[in-house]
């Protein structure tokens, strides 16, 4: 089973919010409603024939405007605890792909129990599930006591169960590669809004980000918001211990972020171990910008894409090239899509007053037994992918050549 161990500090938030004193009447109501949320309308194989996709939930009424921004994210079962803080920080819809390596009845039981215990916080969340056809040969992680907790909707035990899943992954790397780009695309297909924002589940948006972007899009629909623009949201990382002690004050705005940068608990993302992965954003210039109006954003400047630059961005849902699903685990998975955006003629416009915070600095997101081999395989695949793009875009003069001084 693939679990992100970097999310343990979120568990306290989840534990504070679960309700283990529900009346029988409330349990029945929540159970009935949760059944709707996890009753999958269809199941299909992915293009490789190795994963089953369960998606498009039945009778799921839209509760947001079609003009919104859907936050797309992905996780393993243990990472569901991230949703507590993430939902607090995002006032729009979510499309969440969950990767599971369990029997269908087991993961559906777990998802239903989690939904019942957190029902009030999931009104804008649409779940999708990706499951390998061939089950992992890794360690057995579920026993009857834990399964019974989900059957009984024992929210306190469910909290401890998810926490234990995170700990298991620390000591038992999975033998199943995490299909990160497939999960991203499944979440993308599950969106029903004009714009999408694909992030990782341990990244916290700044205060009022969706509202501010929609206001910006409406005011600049004809002049600045174009189909071939990726609107870059600068990415920072915050000390996990500081966030754990102060999570009730998040999400934050840019002024607060600048204060945290001064005291050293926030830094530019990967500023030490991979500065070329984000330096095109030009953090120094961004931090000097002052917004003219409260709760408003503007395009600060545009940047040229280059190899190894991995910004996160908001883009139109239609027409934007999606992720190549052959990439698994980390390394080159997001980079391949950014490379295609560049070759396809996209511009990268940095927004001035919004941002993302990655909690913690652990870059090894997914524990897997053959990590090095997968990294080398992804590099070979990236070179193959890069060489294919001129055939797909014959009129382009852009390329994604790897400079000899760079490596990932």
Instruction: Please tell me the distance from the alpha carbon of residue 316 to that of residue 275, in angstroms, as a whole number.
Output: 28
The full set of domain ranges for the chain reads 5-182, 202-392
Per-residue pLDDT, 171 = 43
Burial label, 183 (beta-carbon count in 10 A; 0-12, 13-18, 19+): buried
Per-residue pLDDT, 255 = 94
Whether the pLDDT of residue 17 is over 60: the answer is: no
Instruction: Please tell me the distance from the alpha carbon of residue 322 to that of residue 189, in angstroms, as a whole number.
Output: 10
Per-residue pLDDT, 381 = 94
What is residue 174's DSSP assignment? B
- Number of helical H runs and strand E runs in the chain: 13, 14
Reported pTM? 0.87
Closest-CA residue to 63 (of 33, 42, 23): 33
In contact, 229 and 340? CB cutoff 8 Å: no
The tens digit of pLDDT for each residue in 192-240 reads: 899 999 999 999 999 999 999 999 998 877 554 567 999 999 999 999 9
User: CA–CA distance from 74 to each of 185, 192, 317 (Å)?
Assistant: 10, 17, 17
In contact, 378 and 331? CB cutoff 8 Å: yes
Angle, vertex CA 173, rays to CA 169 and CA 178, nearest 5: 90
Closest-CA residue to 359 (of 12, 1, 2): 12
The percentage of residues in the chain with a pLDDT greater than 70, rounded to a whole number, is: 80
Whether the pLDDT of residue 306 is over 60: the answer is: yes
Instruction: Please tell me the distance from the alpha carbon of residue 180 to that of residue 168, in angstroms, as a whole number.
Output: 20
Whether the pLDDT of residue 4 is over 70: the answer is: no
When pLDDT is cut at 50, 70 and 90, the band that residue 33 belongs to is confident
Per-residue pLDDT, 366 = 45
When pLDDT is cut at 50, 70 and 90, the band that residue 56 belongs to is low
Instruction: Please tell me the distance from the alpha carbon of residue 345 to that of residue 333, in angstroms, as a whole number.
Output: 20
Mean pLDDT score, 97-106? 85
Least confident of 100-114, 187-201, 277-291, 394-408: 394-408
Closest-CA residue to 349 (of 317, 397, 315): 315
Distance, C-alpha 59 to centroid of its chain: 25
When pLDDT is cut at 50, 70 and 90, the band that residue 10 belongs to is very low
Whether the pLDDT of residue 367 is over 60: the answer is: no
DSSP string, 223-285: TT--TTEEEE--EEEE-HHHHHHHGGG-S--HHHHHHHHHHTSEEETTTTT-GGGTGGG-HHH
When pLDDT is cut at 50, 70 and 90, the band that residue 321 belongs to is very high
Instruction: Please tell me the distance from the alpha carbon of residue 92 to that of residue 234, in angstroms, as a whole number.
Output: 19
The tens digit of pLDDT for each residue in 249-259 reads: 999 999 999 99
What would the two tokens of residue 200 be?
Answer: 């990782």
Closest-CA residue to 66 (of 184, 189, 195): 195
Please, what is the average pLDDT of the chain?
Answer: 82
Per-residue pLDDT, 146 = 79
Mean pLDDT score, 168-194? 80
């Amino acid at each position: 089973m693939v679990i992100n161990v970097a999310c343990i500090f979120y568990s306290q938030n989840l534990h504070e919010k679960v309700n283990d004193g529900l009346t029988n009447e409330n349990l029945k109501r929540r159970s009935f409603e949760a059944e709707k949320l996890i009753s999958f309308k269809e199941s299909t194989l992915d293009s490789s024939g190795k994963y089953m996709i369960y998606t498009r939930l039945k009778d799921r009424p839209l509760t947001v405007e079609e003009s919104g921004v859907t936050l797309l994210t992905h996780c393993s079962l243990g990472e569901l605890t991230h949703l507590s803080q993430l939902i607090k920080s995002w006032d729009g819809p979510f499309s969440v792909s969950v990767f599971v390596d369990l029997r269908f009845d087991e993961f559906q039981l777990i998802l239903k129990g989690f939904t019942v215990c957190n029902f009030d916080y999931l009104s804008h969340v649409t779940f999708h599930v990706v499951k390998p056809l061939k089950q992992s040969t890794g360690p057995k992680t579920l026993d009857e006591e834990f399964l019974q907790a989900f059957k009984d909707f024992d929210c306190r035990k469910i909290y401890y169960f998810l926490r234990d899943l995170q700990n298991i992954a620390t000591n038992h790397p999975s033998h199943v590669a995490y299909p990160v780009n497939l999960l991203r695309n499944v979440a993308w297909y599950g969106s029903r809004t004009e714009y999408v924002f694909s992030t990782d589940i341990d990244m916290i948006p700044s205060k009022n980000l969706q509202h501010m972007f929609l206001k910006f899009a409406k005011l600049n629909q004809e002049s600045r918001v174009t189909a071939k623009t990726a609107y870059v949201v600068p990415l920072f990382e915050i000390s996990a211990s500081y966030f754990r002690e102060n999570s009730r004050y998040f999400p934050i705005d840019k002024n607060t972020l600048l204060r945290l940068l001064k005291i050293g608990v926030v830094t530019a993302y990967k500023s030490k171990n991979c500065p070329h992965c984000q330096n095109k954003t030009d953090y120094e210039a961004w931090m000097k910008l002052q917004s003219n109006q409260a709760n408003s954003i503007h395009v600060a400047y545009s940047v040229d894409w280059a190899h190894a630059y991995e910004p996160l961005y908001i883009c139109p849902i239609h027409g934007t090239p999606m992720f190549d699903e052959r990439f698994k685990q980390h390394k080159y998975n997001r980079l391949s899509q950014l490379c295609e955006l560049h070759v396809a003629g996209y511009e990268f416009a940095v927004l001035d007053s919004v941002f993302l915070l990655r909690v913690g600095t652990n870059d090894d997101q997914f524990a897997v037994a053959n990590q090095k081999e997968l990294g080398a395989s992804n590099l070979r695949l990236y070179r193959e992918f890069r060489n294919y793009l001129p055939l797909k875009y014959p009129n382009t003069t852009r390329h994604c050549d790897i400079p000899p001084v760079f490596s990932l």
